[in-house]
Amino acid sequence: MKIVTDILLAFRANVKCFSLKLMHMKTLYYHPYIRMDRNVNIRLRGGVITFGKGVLVSARSVISASDGGRLTVGKMVGINSNSMLMCHNSISIGSNTIMGPGVYIYDHDHVFDSEHGVRRNEYITAPVVIGKNCWIGANTVILRGTTIGDNCLIAAGSVIKGNIESGSIVVQKRETITKMY
């Protein structure tokens, strides 16, 4: 049964990628052995997306490259359901990295100041690099300017910004305070 499912996922991915490739000849690159669930939304708005061999993208995920951004997904990467990869600068994900559901990766923030508020369609960007053989837990948010080394584990529910050295385990503890009134 797993073989049939894999064949169906690979067929779906190749049809989706081929049809996108027809419209975006020089901005989408993919290996024929790629698998995608239903309802995967791939957006190419002036950016470039590259998928390596064996990539799996699960249902209801959004993958976007805009404004000259370059999103590169290595071999055998697993992107679980309800995840978002939003690229305006550069996002690179190393081979054999897996993600739990609901992982969000952003290489940009909106420009904001107290006098004018948020500026629509104006961004501050910085590259995001995720190494090889990493495990990114469910509902993790990875922000612009982040580098995660090889062989790292990022625990579920983390918010990551900055540099994480190779071989690190990142757990963000939270304290629950309950007061009775």
For residue 36, give the H/E element and its range. Answer: strand 35-36
Q: Look at the block and give the residue holding tokens 């009775």.
A: 180
**Whose structure tokens read 């976007």?**
64
- Cβ contact 47:20 at 8 Å: no
The residues annotated with a catalytic role in the active site are 110
Strand partners, 119: 111
| Rounded Cα distance, 143 and 135, in Å | 16
Burial of 171 (0-12, 13-18, 19+ CB in 10 A): exposed
Instruction: Outline where the chain has alpha helix (H).
Output: 2-23
Residues linked to residue 136 through DSSP beta bridges, in sequence order: 99, 154
Pairing of strands 128-130, 163-164: unpaired
Rounded (10°) CA dihedral 144, 145, 150, 156:
-40
